[in-house]
Amino acid sequence: PSVLGLRTVFTDHSCFSFADGASIHTNKLLKYFLAHVDSCISVSHTNRENLVLRANLAPEKIYVIPNAIDGTCFVPDPEKRPLPPTVNVVAINRLTHRKGIDLLADVIPIVCRMRPDVQWTIGGDGPKRA
pLDDT in tens, 15-24: 777 778 888 8
Q: Is 106 helix (H, G, I), strand (E, B) or coil?
A: helix
Nearest to 44 by CA among 60, 66, 16: 66
Question: pLDDT category, 1, cuts 50, 70, 90?
Answer: low
Question: pLDDT category, 98, cuts 50, 70, 90?
Answer: confident
Percentage of the residues of the chain whose pLDDT score is greater than 90 = 36
User: Which pLDDT value is given to residue 48?
Assistant: 94
User: Which pLDDT value is given to residue 3?
Assistant: 63
Nearest to 105 by CA among 95, 116, 113: 95
Q: Would you tell me how many other CB atoms lie within 10 Å of the CB of residue 55?
A: 22
Predicted structure pTM score: 0.57
pLDDT at 77 over 70: yes
| Range from 28-32, 67-71, 107-111 carrying the lowest mean pLDDT | 67-71
CA–CA dist 40, 110 (Å, integer): 37
- Mean pLDDT across 108-112: 94
Helix ranges (DSSP H) in the chain:
21-33, 45-55, 101-114
